[in-house]
Amino acid sequence: MSEVGNSGKKSYRVAQIEGKITWRIEELWDGGVIRQPFGSRESAIKHEQDVAKKGGFSEVLVLQDVAGQERAPEETFRKDANGNWRCYEACALDMENKEIVFTEGMTFVKGSPFMGVDVAKWLDEHAKQ
């Protein structure tokens, strides 16, 4: 990895994790890191901007590239005959102004909140079935 040009800019890219609905940040300068998962490209960008602000380099931070396409929640969750939603692929989703990370095998029943969110209800409203 190298810093872009002699301008002192710190470039990064946001890329969708292959085969996932989640995103990662790739800092493209020497010593840069990869951070993941993020539920959306917007949450990844906001996170990197927050890191830059706290680290004192927000004025030289440059988003170089965004690679990938948003995937829908129904691509990683499936609803069963009883109306419960099961996670079939680890992911993170932005729900009700918070990013929630899910692991494969988690199942959600309507009316049972997880991290303060009724995930089954949210999926009923946002996932195409």
Query: Region 50-68: what's the mean pLDDT?
Result: 94
Q: In what order do the strands lie in the sheet with 77-79?
A: 77-79, 85-87, 107-108
Q: Give the mean pLDDT of the chain.
A: 88
Q: Model pTM?
A: 0.61
Across 4-13, 70-79, 94-103, 108-117, least confident range:
4-13
What residue ranges in 5-123 does DSSP mark as E strands? 10-16, 23-27, 34-38, 61-67, 77-79, 85-87, 91-95, 98-102, 107-108
Q: Tell the burial category of 93 from Cβ atoms under 10 Å away from its Cβ (0-12, 13-18, 19+).
A: buried
pLDDT surpassing 60 at residue 3 = no
